[in-house]
Amino acid sequence: MGEHSGIRMLLFKAWRESRARFFLTAATIGALCTGVVLFNVQIQNNPGQPLRGFQAGTYTEQVYDFIYGGTAKGLFALLMLFFGLGGLLREQRRGTAPFTLALPVTRSEIIVTQIIVGVVEVIAIAALPLLLIPGLSRFVGRSYPVSESLHFALLWLGGGLMVFALAFLCSVLFAGEYTALLVAFLGLFAVPLAAQLRMLQPYRVNFLMTMGDFGTMHWNSEHTMFLPSPMPWMRLLVFLGITVTLLRVALGITKRKDF
Amino acid sequence: MRFLLSAIALAVICASFVFFHRDASSGISDEPLSYPVYVWRITYKGYLRELFMILAILLGLGGLTRERDLRTAGFTLALPVSRWRLLATRTLVGLGQVVLLATLPAIVMPLLSPLIGQAYPSSQAWAFTILWATVGSLIFAMALLASVLFAGEFTAPVVAILGLAAYSFLADMRPLERYLTDIHDVMSGINMPYFAERTGTLTGPLPWATLFTVLLAAAALIAVGARITSRQDF
């Protein structure tokens, strides 16, 4: 078996293991984006108290409140945890780890292929609103700037990869069924809580707020578009650094582990 | 393990809400908040409520379908007990754990508040416990049913989380909002006649009819799960 076919096989294995989670998440985020755009008028015209996220007056603000800064963003962050779970510890529990380890590939290749598939899946989900919202908006006689969607796609990608890496590290550290998931959940919840500490408030460590550009959105001069501030590249670089560090730690631990 | 970790996390978070209340209070509002309003906003309306709901989902996972995936279902089914009893025991233990988690804020908040010169009424905390425990039972039942229907280790929690999100979304939509109660609001009291947001306190009698309906829905979901389990081929 050639080296490339071995890697291809590992990529296929990682995809098969995670595809149900991926399709469920993609369907959810896709349905939310499609629903907000296509049924925007119907939701607006409904009498009585407006739906949460639809209290805003303009289309761009509604999309922001519901997708980029609201329900969809929260679900995205939560579901990214599931993309990082799995790995050799899980296989050890199921009794299949010896088969995987007996394959003519290194442990690093096994882990790296899992990371590659996970990262590609995170990219695909983060890009979904970018692919759907500006395009579908034209069908209902509205417009949503591609630049703004791209801006949030990058922010979601930065935050999503960090959550993915956190879950990946937890799945390397904790063998118990759902323990890794639980610890990763707690880690995710700890960040916004810790961010409320006075000494941490100036650093805006709550990456969920950064993902939604919370507190920095502003109006254009005509007050028709709700726009984000310039891309926080430094913050994204920090996100990337944390992601790489967490994944490297996970890789190092797996290499030394006895299965 | 899941329960112990969840309980420790909830207790630690509640304690930190008390001890760091000045920091956290300025983090959640620009205006100064009274202590009961602060406790309500950060505990019963805020992150802790969401965390509790997810922990209830995690406690509902597992069971025979998972055991089939792990190839241990045969051993469990060979035990001299019926499938119904297996599920009933798991349900009872899980519900007990959900109730215990719901009681933690009621124990920690009133107990620790005097240490920082504040007071949070036990009656308020226990009333919220009843709301949390009841709604938590429904969420637990949703997760239990998902774990009966889906064998994949992570498929069941994803489905349960999405089911919960979909329910909240539908409960806010007209005309469904007339027939579906938003369980998030039942737990926190927002927009409910028994709650005063200005003071952050429960003022009226608890919504016993709603709570009974929620428990009935939970029982129905568990019954569906039991029926499916009794017919499933492992």
Give the tens place of pLDDT for each residue, A40-89: 777 776 655 556 656 667 788 888 888 888 889 999 999 999 998 877 87
Give the pLDDT score at A118.
94
- Residue B132 pLDDT more than 70? yes
Q: Which of A91-100, A125-134, B46-55, B186-195 has the lowest mean pLDDT?
A: A91-100
pLDDT at B70 over 90: no
Query: Residue B118, SS3?
Result: coil
Highest mean pLDDT among A49-53, B3-7, B151-155: B3-7
Q: Are A179 and B1 an interchain contact pair (Cβ–Cβ within 8 Å)?
A: yes
Rounded-to-integer distance, Cα B220 and Cα A57, Å: 41
Q: Can you list the pairs that A200-204 forms with residues at least 24 positions away whose Cβ atoms lie under 8 Å?
A: A201/B23, A201/B26, A201/B27
Which secondary-structure segment (H or E) carries B50? helix B47-59
- Rounded Cα distance between B116 and B114, Å, is 5
Mean pLDDT along residues A129-158? 92
Q: Which residues of B touch A (CB under 8 A)?
A: 1-2, 5-6, 9, 13, 16, 20, 22-24, 26-28, 47, 50-51, 54-55, 58, 61-62, 66, 69-71, 152-155, 157-159, 161-162, 165, 169, 172-174
Classified as helix, coil or strand, A83 is helix
- Residue B189, pLDDT score: 87
User: Per-residue pLDDT averaged across B65-78, rounded?
Assistant: 79
pLDDT band at A3 (very low <50, low <70, confident <90, very high): low
Is the sign of the CA dihedral A195, A82, B168, B94 positive or negative? negative
What percent of chain B shows pLDDT beyond 90? Answer: 38
Say if residue B181's pLDDT is above 90.
Answer: no
Task: State which amino acid sits at residue A42.
Answer: Q
CB pair distance less than 8 Å for A75 and B71: no
Lowest mean pLDDT among A157-171, A194-208, B30-44: A194-208
pLDDT at A55: 63
* Average pLDDT of the residues in B45-54: 89
A132 or A230, which is more confident: A132
Q: Of B84, B1, B6, nearest to B48 (Cα)?
A: B6
Cβ of B5 within 8 Å of Cβ of A78? The answer is no
- Give the confidence band of B199 by pLDDT, cuts at 50, 70, 90: confident
ipTM rounded to 2 decimals:
0.81
pTM of the predicted structure, to 2 decimals: 0.86
Q: Which of B144, B151, B159 is closest to B233 using CA atoms?
A: B151
What mean pLDDT do residues B5-11 have? 92
pLDDT at A207: 86
Over the stretch A169-199, which tens digit does the pLDDT of each residue have?
999 998 877 888 899 999 988 888 888 777 7
